[in-house]
Structure formats: structure tokens, C-alpha cells
Amino acid sequence: MTVRIQCRCGTVQGEIEPSGVYARLTCYCRDCQAWARWLGGPGLVDDRGGSDVLAVVPARMRFTRGLEQLRCATFSGRVLRWYAACCRSPLANTAADPKVQYAGVLATAVVSPAEVQALAGPPGRVVANHKSATGPVRATPLALAGAVVQVGSRIIGGRLRGVRRSPFFDDAGQPLRVPERISPPPAAEAVR
């Protein structure tokens, strides 16, 4: 069994080994909200501006179709935001360095929400950046600390083992697409 991912129109498709999914959180940071506004389209954030994100080991995922539609954008140069150009669907966020074995795959890209829930629990159980939410959100400090430890241990473990494989970078460690430098759109009403 693999966790299937795809863009909204189905042109870009991929899969994640279940062992590669290790945490789920809802991020309310301003950058995630700006990313949703830049992409446009409904359903990219929840009613308080949160993005549902799965922490994934990139070495355990791959694209199976539509790789030519994969694009990359960045606000800061540190975080690369990957999307499908065909329908402007968000796919994942990665560090600019492929040695960081972390990809934040957007739950909106997962074909079966039931698979996500079975592997990583329900949305909203772990909340990050709750103070940037556009409405009231309950902080989850203990759950967030646990998720941070999980992410950190996976990144450190990957680095110690020398794992660099990622479907977002070539063998030389360069992003598959040149990141487009973008500016955050005005902080008007969040796209829902």
C-alpha cells in the first residue's frame, strides 16, 4: 500500500511509502497563508487560515506522472514551495537543502483523506503558529513539541545516514526547477 498524491486536475501524481509519513500538523503561519493566496483557488486553507501538512521523508516518496508540470516558488530562498503548474495545486514544502530530509506534503494533495487519518491522525490535533490564525485556534504546545521532536529526529537521522534522495532535487542536489522568487500577496481575506 502506498499513499497516493496528486494535483487537483490529476496531471501530477505520485506516491509516498506509508513509513515515510510520520506527523501531521495544521500550520497557521503567515507564509502558508500567503502561499495559499498566491496560488488562489478554494480549499487550500481551513476557515481560520491553516494549512493541513503531513511531515514526510522525501526519500520515501516519488512522482509517477506529470513531473514536467512540477514548479517551485519561494518567498525567502530557505523554504521551497512546490506546486503543479497545470492547476496551481500546492504539493509540498521543502528546505532549499536536499540534505534536510523533510517534506511538508499538503493534505489537499492526498487522494484518500482516510489514509492520512489512519497514518497520522486527524487534522488540528497538532497546531503550529496559532497566533497567526484568522480566527480562534487552541494552542497544542505538548503535541507541537512532540511533532517537532519527530521532525528533528528524522532530519538528524537522515543527515547522519547521508540520505539525500528527494523527488524534488537532482543527483547533484539542485532543485528540479529553478525556484521562482515571489512576493507575498497582500494579507487580504485568506483563500478558503
pLDDT tens per residue across all 192 residues of the chain: 799 999 999 999 999 999 999 899 999 999 999 999 999 988 999 999 999 999 999 999 999 999 999 999 999 999 999 999 999 999 999 999 998 999 999 999 999 988 888 888 888 899 999 999 999 999 999 999 999 999 899 888 888 888 889 999 999 999 999 999 998 777 654 445
* The pLDDT of residue 188: 54
Assess contact for 143 and 151: CB atoms under 8 A: no
Which CATH number does the domain housing residue 28 bear?
2.170.150.70
Find the DSSP H helices in the chain. 30-39, 113-120, 141-161
Assess contact for 21 and 120: CB atoms under 8 A: yes
Distance between CA atoms of residues 67 and 112, nearest Å: 21
Q: Is residue 104 part of a domain?
A: yes
Q: Is residue 183 part of a domain?
A: no
Structural domain including 55 reads: 3-173
Q: Is residue 69 part of a domain?
A: yes
Stated length of the chain = 192
What's the predicted TM-score (pTM) here?
Answer: 0.91
Q: Is residue 44 part of a domain?
A: yes
Assess contact for 82 and 72: CB atoms under 8 A: yes
* The pLDDT of residue 120: 87
* The pLDDT of residue 187: 66
* The pLDDT of residue 82: 98
Q: Is residue 178 part of a domain?
A: no
3-state secondary structure of 59: helix
Number of domains in the chain: 1
Instruction: Give me 99's grid cell.
Output: 540534505
Please choose, from the candidates 55, 48, 56, 54, the residue with its C-alpha nearest in 3D space to the C-alpha of residue 28: 48
